[in-house]
Amino acid sequence: MDDTTSDGLDQAIATLAAHPNIQIRLFNPQNLGRETGVTRSLGRLMNLSRQHRRMHNKLWLADSSAAIVGGRNLGDEYFDAEPNLNFTDIDMLSVGPVAEQLGHSFDQYWNSTLSKPIDEFMYFLPDGQDLAEARQRLDDSLEQAHQQHKALYERLMAYKTQPRMKTWLNELVWAHNQALWDAPTKVLAQGDPDPHLLLTTQLAPELLNTRKELMLISAYFVPGQEGLLYLTGRADAGVNVSLLTNSLEATDVPAVHGGYAPYRKALLEHGVKLFELRRQPGDTETMRSSGPHLFRKSHSLVSSESSLHSKAMIFDRQKVFVGSFNFDPRSVLWNTEVGVLVDSPQLAEELRELTLQGMAPSLTYEARLEDGKVVWVTEDNGQIHTLHTEPGDWWRRFNAWMSRAIGLERML
């Protein structure tokens, strides 16, 4: 796991690792000052050039035979269990040789000199008694959740009486696919990493050879000058380019929106279509239905709002890429990423249809140009209307403005 997620959790992580069948390593760990939040922050500042780089990979792997990649982290807000804000994600289940390839990616990170066992950072190692007490606290927490969020608990436990794995396996699309990932040594680069270390270098042929249609889903979108030239160049060449990202009111990181907003006008002038997902209000009923619902207006069992966290690309209705990669400098240069490229018109069409659902006027603000200015077209109560002021409160506007003012774009 990435070390930035371990803040304040060393004891809990080490307790889990006390189980004889659980091993945990931290990637790119902070070696000094781990004791308190203050000393951790100071330690990061002293080594910021390396500590801001994250292992952003997300991978679930079973016996090197079945794997899940996508944008989903391991946390309540990624499984519709957070009371305030949940994330809408895309996952891809893969079996066969690609799972073995993803196993090689895991091994590279696990065996990297950048990965350290949690035990190395503990003064006193938890024992079996600590593990037993942690298990009891977990049981108590689950029982409390059962009482407070009954519908959510029953949904999570449904796999016991209604297992879906066999159904999913029967729905798999058989196609040529390839796992792509950044080399773990990417985070050691002084300045920009060498291209041969990068996932984007592996993905470049697909990006450059798109001729008819390119659809992007990127929760955090900061094209930069190179991305702007690429996207406008594709659009100028006759490629239908469309993007689904978060709106200012929906994003959980307004600073990233500050890196995206200055590029909107230029993208629109060249015909790139921009759809910004609205903040989706919660509804306790939606998840009771079945079938794909990536962008349904609301989908949390705890009545929370939702924000886009998905990352995917569709090339010429022929190939798809699903993984942890956002279209921004952080994914390209600083963080490490992983994903799967699939050559399948069938899968491309399925993902394309889901994306078009997500671009519906009732769910998004479509950015357009009107008299040379950006406006936002959306639908409320069945009526299409145009907004001339970008939706979002003053605090979000301030954060977006501040990221632009201090020049954070390259770090976003």
pLDDT in tens, 253-299: 999 999 999 999 999 999 999 999 998 775 433 333 334 455 544 34
Token representation of residue 411: 């770090």
CA quadruple 384, 90, 329, 272: dihedral, nearest 10? -30
**What's the CA gap between 320 and 138, in Å, rounded?**
39
Would you say 229 and 338 are in contact if contact means Cβ atoms under 8 Å apart?
no
**What's the CA gap between 306 and 251, in Å, rounded?**
9
Amino acid found at 54: R
CA distances for 220 relative to 209, 223, 252, 260, 322, angstroms: 24, 10, 10, 8, 15
Three-state SS at 180: strand
Domain limits at 333?
3-411
Would you say 108 and 183 are in contact if contact means Cβ atoms under 8 Å apart?
yes
| Total domains present in the chain | 1
Q: What is the pLDDT along the chain (412 residues), one digit of tens a residue?
A: 999 888 889 999 999 999 999 999 999 998 877 877 888 888 788 888 888 999 999 999 999 999 999 999 998 888 887 777 889 999 999 999 999 999 999 999 999 999 999 999 998 999 999 999 999 999 998 888 888 888 888 888 888 888 888 888 889 999 999 999 999 999 999 889 999 999 999 999 999 999 999 999 999 999 999 999 999 999 999 999 999 999 999 999 999 999 999 999 999 999 999 999 998 775 433 333 334 455 544 344 444 678 999 999 999 999 999 999 999 999 999 999 999 999 999 999 999 999 999 999 999 999 999 999 999 999 999 999 999 999 999 999 999 999 999 988 988 8
Residue 305 is inside which H or E element, if any? strand 305-308
Phi, psi of 365 (to 5 degrees): -105, 115
Token representation of residue 409: 């774009």
**CA-based nearest residue to 325, from 338, 314, 334:** 338
pLDDT in the model for residue 381 = 92
CATH number at residue 165: 3.30.870.10
**What's the CA gap between 331 and 321, in Å, rounded?**
15
